[in-house]
């Protein structure tokens, strides 16, 4: 019997990639220079970063790895290193045209997906999902994490040009938010509570879902079944949720736009969660 993949995403990459290429081919010259939620990056810069994801994965498939140019002793060190790596690529890609960039994305999408298809999904990945607090992750989780990267960066482009609807479907959004929620136990690791305390998180609408975070003797555990009355309940709109967990919206704004019931102290850590390699 084949082992069930907790969050299947690999089958979604071709559709997500095709949507991106179609979107980029439709953009005007002005669209490419529009600012995005990715701080100092324009639409073109975010597209270049997505190409970097493809290129690095294909290089890895070819056995090519670049050792960090510094010691990585902490999560902050990792964030700083990756930010420098990403910005170096993005700056260099400003030399190429939007047409070249789009063609490069289209031509590397297949190799990127083929590489992930070659992996055993239940063996350790080369890179752990650090924002979930893991020192070692299985390949299925690493791939799901990469899916969220592809999803949210494309959505940043779409937000900038006013075309967000295609990604806000149950098929494409739910696997992304389900993966993001894997960061909840790590986010709540220092939150004190009695054993058995439950925190309920609801992402509203047809594309959303329900998650229950339960305090065990030693840690918090994430599930999708209610086992007791929640001490706190948080409901968030999907469009706010993806922005919140990728640092695309201010916490205070997200809190005002959300519905919180019960103990607000148990709700507060949720709004600190970052499900990308970044610091809040």
The answer on 112 and 196 residing in a single domain is no
* pLDDT score at 1: 62
The answer on 55 and 162 residing in a single domain is yes
The answer on 125 and 231 residing in a single domain is no
Structural domain span for residue 30: 10-167
* pLDDT score at 279: 74
The answer on 191 and 149 residing in a single domain is no
pLDDT at 203 over 80: yes
Q: pLDDT digits over 120-141, tens only?
A: 999 999 999 999 999 999 999 9
The phi, psi pair for 262, rounded to 5°, reads 85, -150
The answer on 151 and 99 residing in a single domain is yes
Overall number of domains in the chain: 2
pLDDT at 227 over 90: no
The answer on 153 and 17 residing in a single domain is yes
Strand order in the sheet with 198-203: 220-223, 209-215, 198-203, 232-236, 259-262
pLDDT at 239 over 90: yes
The answer on 104 and 31 residing in a single domain is yes
* pLDDT score at 278: 84
The answer on 195 and 109 residing in a single domain is no
* pLDDT score at 39: 87
């Amino acid at each position: 019997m084949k082992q069930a993949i907790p969050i299947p995403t690999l089958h979604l990459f071709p559709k997500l990639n095709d949507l991106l290429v179609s979107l980029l081919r439709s953009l005007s010259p002005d669209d490419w220079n529009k600012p995005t939620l990715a701080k100092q990056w324009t639409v073109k810069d975010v597209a270049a970063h997505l190409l970097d994801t493809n290129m690095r994965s294909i290089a890895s498939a070819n056995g090519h790895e670049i050792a960090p140019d510094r010691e990585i002793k902490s999560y902050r060190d990792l964030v700083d290193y990756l930010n420098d790596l990403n910005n170096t690529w993005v700056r260099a890609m400003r030399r190429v045209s939007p047409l070249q960039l789009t063609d490069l994305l289209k031509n590397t999408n297949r190799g990127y997906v083929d590489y992930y298809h070659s992996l055993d999904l239940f063996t350790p990945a080369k890179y752990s999902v650090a924002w979930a607090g893991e020192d070692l992750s299985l390949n299925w989780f690493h791939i799901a994490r990469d899916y969220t990267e592809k999803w949210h960066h494309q959505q940043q482009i779409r937000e900038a040009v006013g075309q967000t609807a295609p990604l806000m479907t149950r098929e494409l959004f739910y696997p992304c938010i389900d993966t993001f929620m894997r960061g909840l136990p790590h986010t709540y690791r220092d939150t004190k509570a009695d054993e058995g305390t439950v925190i309920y998180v609801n992402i509203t609408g047809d594309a959303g879902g329900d998650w229950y975070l339960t305090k065990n003797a030693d840690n918090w555990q994430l599930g999708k079944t209610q086992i007791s009355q929640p001490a706190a309940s948080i409901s968030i709109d999907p469009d706010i949720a993806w922005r919140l967990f990728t640092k695309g919206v201010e916490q205070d704004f997200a809190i005002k736009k959300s519905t919180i019931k019960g103990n607000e102290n148990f709700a507060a850590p949720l709004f600190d969660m970052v499900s990308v390699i970044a610091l809040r």
